[in-house]
Structure 1
């Protein structure tokens, strides 16, 4: 009996040590905003205010079609000592629904008893960044100008996501303003975190497609800081996607064309990677997994009615493949934007690389601007390659090519003659961004 008791205590101690180790690992790069933290009071009010806002609209039916009134909707919750304002709440609720995020699930992450986490990185942004305790959602303070820009272009953003449901653009899930009378007025947005779940991520990168100021010393000096690396740190590496390469390049091209139309520049591709385990490599080819992923990737009811059942992806033989040299997706491709003679030819971008033949089951998805999503909660920002899982998302889409940016462009041309820097016209920025993706994807 004594031996069994001793063995039980040993196992319990081992489990406790393992739990402490995993907790310490998941807190690398973040600080818990506890009672002694400078943002504790603010984040507590943010949680209380958002809970009141979500509860006030949670019984509202999901909108099948959004009207102009939905985009203009404003709400106010009066709470003890502060006010919480919401903007276009029905629109963001519709977007959450499209991502299979229920209102209860959203509220449980945003408004738990657990404290928020403060993200600590080498970013130069003056904004404050917070993570929900489960790290699923990101909260970021924004200027009034940035919020006005988002809301004024929200209809175009939603139209783009409707056309490209698996777009790489970051998903905005709510816009709020907290007001403490005579003290503070602060706007903030809620986004889906690109790097979720992050427990096994090796490296993180912020890619802009340029080289001036785009290197970060990866050494942390023993500090628990998440170093976000940059373009020059990624040299001689590749994003190895295999069959998803062609979809990835086309989607980046479509997303950057949208941002170019908004006169936006200086956006980034957030990129992270983690090795796929053997069970994940085998599992993603199983029939059961493919059925789940197919269901997740498209709404069968919305799939084109003129297609025969045998032509729906994955409902036909997986053994067929497109012949070598064939383009993965039939039909016309969006033309490259013009400017400065640096455009990338469509046939160059869409030509298949070695070992990137597109299996026939992916063609139906790609034809309708979709792909076969992984069976994960953060599926739109995750792409499984041949041996690695990649977390990808286009972020920081609020910088407009204004008079100030044009003057900055002139100054940088004098300061860095012949070099590649970030402040350029949106047309050139988009083309260069796509070129970087093309050159670094296999």
Structure 2
């Protein structure tokens, strides 16, 4: 409050003598009684003018004055006005506007009632969208060449995204998966009803109309990564998606244009498709082709007799024991001399020719000399399962970039003896302390 003190013949002080600030902008947690409902309940079982009948009261939102305490008698078709609501009562259930002295005032992002300050797309009050970037693309994910309907990845939306909108205009169905690889909307070949869903700490509005228009919308910010999928029923005319993302999170966006994630030109005929197909039970990639089957198809392409190649692949003596580097010195050596150091979840394993290809989800990067995205392929130049990586488990991988002489391959390669250890919180702490040793070794 302020009091206007002026001398004779001076103008009256401009502006409002009172200014109100909101103490708490966040919504009350689930399960709490709304403020207006609590005020109505104070009159339960108390007589009103002209009646001695005790009533139970709940809020009534159809009255003209939003800042009157209008309460509906439970089990009856009338409401009663008990005067004004207390200051700070929301004007309506879905509004952030508040009642002050009987007037409905909008709360700005600065907490001042009556202020016109608004948050920008990055969530910064009175900002200029400078701390975030706008991502807008069209996914033209190809219909499976096998002709079999199924789920396919559209895009990865990192945690922290705001103002998300995904639209599709086809007979296909959009689906949404959380960071734990579990479907939350339209998963497991079951189509959910349109409505509002609590996902990743925000509300996702799922809409679907009779004219095959479908959309996901969320204000955000999201508290975990989300994966947008499409359940194919027909060819994809294009799925549009857009969102705002903090600049520091931009590198987490998955891109199908990763130079390290390429089709294998020597892929065995009849082997499973390159992209993982999501089954109703899981989101892992398809089963691996057996070494015996690969031995029948690959040798003719490589100029090796089939029997000889099968013998090379299946003889245990050719593989030997898998040795994984251990200890602090080995960790430092591989960390400083690798092109890629990252934490990854193994989604699937597949034998291609005389090599093993892992489809991995990159969870965190520690040190990379070349860009990596959310999903990558990691190659091992043998089929001996060395190093031993188990599907659906997480590992710390230290690998190198492999570009062949013809420059037709550009990929992440794990060599025999590369550092590959199960990820643990202890391993994470040790890795975060390792980078300084690389700097020390350069200065010596």
TM-score bracket for this pair, using the shorter chain length:
under 0.3
TM-score (norm 2): 0.20
TM-score (norm 1): 0.20
Q: Which has the higher contact order (CA 8 A, sep 6+)?
A: 1
The structure richer in helix per residue is 1
